[in-house]
Structure 1
Amino acid sequence: MHHYTSASFSAVQNIGHQLARAGNLVTAEMDLALKDLRITSRQLGILLAMQHRSAATPVELAKMLSIDAGLMTRMLDKLEANDLLKRSRSTCDRRRVNLVLTERGHEVAAAVPEYAPKMLNGRLKRFTNAEFEELGRLLQKFIGE
């Protein structure tokens, strides 16, 4: 089934544009919500992935968060400078960099549930529970999970 044709396609009335706008909106609002923790929403993804042990190297994080290596390096530099994580070379493979959260990194990650839900719930306040669940289901279907 084709939902778009060259004749009906619009630069601003398409699912790609709408998803990008929604993503940008959530990112900006989450950055504002996390201001007191002195992290960004992108940095939040790194901290939470490490907190949940979903990733422990820059390569794993970059894949998981869909971030290119250059941006990942810059973000890790900032997190390390703010004493939220530490990098170390693997003793088995010098090419491998291991990441661990510092005590402060664990504290910041643990504080996120006090900030993020309020922002997300504000954005979702016009959704019924059924609509919220359906949105999640449809996004997973769109992503292919």
Structure 2
Amino acid sequence: MSDYPEDIFLPVQRITFALSKARHLLTTEMDGALVGTGLRSSHVGALLLLSLGIACSSVELSRLLGVDPAFITRVVDRLERQGLVHRDRDRPDRRVVKLTLTEAGRDAAARIADIVPEVMNQRLSSFTPLEFATLCRLVTKLLDE
């Protein structure tokens, strides 16, 4: 790997490992908090984006969440089977499938909106306000395209 000298590459490996481990830890904790709801951490983003009206299609969910369209299709399939999401074909363009939350889906999104902050506040409890602001700023900078 000629572009990354060893003394530069190894710190990048450490941050990559740390970010991956942090994601896994948060996912595990979120799944634990969601036990009994029939939901998983992989459903959280889709339900919240739909409930807030930020997204209304699988394409938008995929783009906003930064995940593979096939993954979103599986998530929406499961949410639909659970009676939380309804698919509607757009009348002018039948290729477009609009997603709407059912009443049960809106209730689930409201429960999630209570659960997610609890999990995050517990995980971030050792951060000072300045550390949290710095973390948010640096992660946002990392994600900037």
Normalised TM-score (structure 1): 0.90
Q: CA deviation at 1:13?
A: 4.6
Question: Which piece of structure 1 moves more, 43-52 or 65-74?
Answer: 65-74
For these two proteins, the number of residue pairs brought into alignment is 142
Question: Contact between 1:34 and 1:116, CA under 8 Å: does it hold in 2?
Answer: no
Residue type of the partner of 2:17? H
Identity level (%): 39
Q: CA deviation at 1:105?
A: 0.3
Gapped regions of structure 2 (runs ≥ 5)? none
Going from structure 1 to structure 2, the CA distance change for 1:13 and 1:70 (only over 3 Å counts) comes to: closer
Which residue pairs with 1:25 in the alignment?
25
Measured against aligned partners, the alpha-carbon deviations of 1:76-98 in whole angstroms (never above 9, x if no partner) come to 11000001010011111111101
Q: CA deviation at 1:113?
A: 2.8
* Structure (1/2) with the larger helix percentage: 2
Residue type of the partner of 1:41? S
Residue 46 of structure 2 corresponds to residue 46 of structure 1: yes
Matches within 5 A, 1:1-145: 5-8=4-7, 9-10=9-10, 13-144=13-144
Aligned partners of 1:87, 1:61: CA distance in 2, in Å? 14
Residue type of the partner of 1:16? T
Question: Contact between 1:47 and 1:109, CA under 8 Å: does it hold in 2?
Answer: yes
Q: CA deviation at 1:108?
A: 0.7
Over the aligned positions, Cα root-mean-square deviation in angstroms equals: 1.8
Residue type of the partner of 1:106? R
Aligned partners of 1:21, 1:12: CA distance in 2, in Å? 14
